[in-house]
Every structure is written in structure tokens, then in C-alpha cells.
Amino acid sequence: MSLDQANRTPAAIGLAAVAGVALGWSHLPLAFGVLTWAVLCLAIAIGFGDAVRRSRVAFSITGIFLLFSGLVAAVFWYDAPAGELRLWLGLPAATAILVYAIWPLGVLAGVLYVVEFERSILPADRLRRFRERYVLDNEAPAKDGRER
């Protein structure tokens, strides 16, 4: 079994899934929370394919992971149901982190997709090569209007 570059990220997501089952079963929520973001960021990395080797993409995905791991840790840190009620913008501190940070910042993955679309997601030259080779032949029968 070889673990070359192309197999490392899927292997990591497989290992993370095993760890997730173990952490969930053992009831270790903080570790599970960090692992949740590891799984999500590994999935983003798989979707970006070999573009993930570009430093800008790699740093962005790592940054998203570190940001959200930190936010989840902060939720645990500020969560004090038995303590004094401290409100941030009308919500208890830990809930405020969830509502004002974790919720909206989820769109960062969408922002990364938009920013990297032409360079990493759908480079024009790769699409052109694909279409020249595989798409033109298929278009003709699709336009005949008959039931297929």
C-alpha cells in the first residue's frame, strides 16, 4: 500500500473519521469539536485537488481550521452555565461566539471558492482541454429533441 501525495488527504480523512467515532463514543466534546473542523477542512482540501499544494490555498485552509478550532475552544472556555451571566451584544459570551463568529464565518469556505475559482477550481486551459476531448462528441445527440 503506497501513500503518495494523491492518497494522503483521503487517508487523513479516513483516520479522522476513525478518531471521530472514538472521540464521540468516549464523550470528549472539545477534542471532537476540533476534529469536526479537521474533517471539514480535509474535505475542502480534497475538493481543491492538487491546487492545495499552492501555498495560498494551503495557508487559507489551515487558517480556517485554526480559526474555527480556536473558536470552538473559546466556546468551551466561556461556557459557564452556573456562573455569572456576562452578555456580549445581548447573548451570553459563549453563545455570542457561536452566533456572531462561528455562524457567519462559515462562509469563508465560500469566499475561498470564489477567490480561487479561476486559478484553482476551474482553470480555463484545463476546462478547454477537457471539452475538446470529451464534450463535443456528446453534444450532437443531446440536441435532437427526441425522448431518450
Partner 1 sequence: MPFADSPLILACVVIYLGACFGIGIWAMGRTHTIADFFVAGRTLGPLVVAVATMSSIMSGFGFVGGPGLVFESGSSSLWMTFAATIGMPLSWILVGKRLCLLAEAREVLSLPDAVALRYGGRAPRLLMALAILLGVLGYLGTQVMAIGIVLQAVLGVDLPLALAIGLGVLAFYSIAGGIMAGVYTDLFQGVLMIGASVAVFFYAVSAAGGMTEISRTLWQTDPELIGPWGTRGSMTALSWYLLFGLGGVGQPHAITKFLMLRDVRQLRWGALAAGAGYAVLSLLWMSIGLAMRTLVERGVQPPLESPDLAAPVFLLAYTPELLAGVVFAGLLAAVMSTADSFLNLGAAAIVRDIPIAITGRPLKRELLGSRIATGALLLASALFAVYMKSLIALLGTFGWGTFAAAIVPSVAIGLNWKRATAAACTVSIAAGLVVNFVFELLARHGIYALPGGFNVGCFALLTSLALFVGVSLVFGKPEGETTPPEVTAAMEV
Our CB check for partner 1 shows the closer of 55 and 146 to be: 146
Instruction: Give the position of cell 466556546.
Output: 75
CA distance 31 to 24: 9
Pick from 64, 65, 73, 66: nearest CA to 30: 73
**Nearer CB in complex with partner 1: 70/79:** 79
CB nearer to partner 1: pick between 55 and 85: 85
CB of 135: closest distance to partner 1 in angstroms?
A: 5
The least distance separating partner 1 from the CB of residue 55, rounded to whole angstroms, comes to 19
Instruction: Name the phi and psi angles at 87, rounded to 5.
Output: -100, 135
CA torsion through residues 65, 71, 74, 76, sign: negative
Q: Which is nearer to partner 1, 17 or 66 (CB)?
A: 17
Provide the minimum distance between the beta carbon of 66 and partner 1 in the complex, in angstroms, as a whole number: 15
Q: Are 75 and 97 in contact (CB under 8 A)?
A: yes
Least CB distance from residue 6 to partner 1, whole Å? Answer: 7
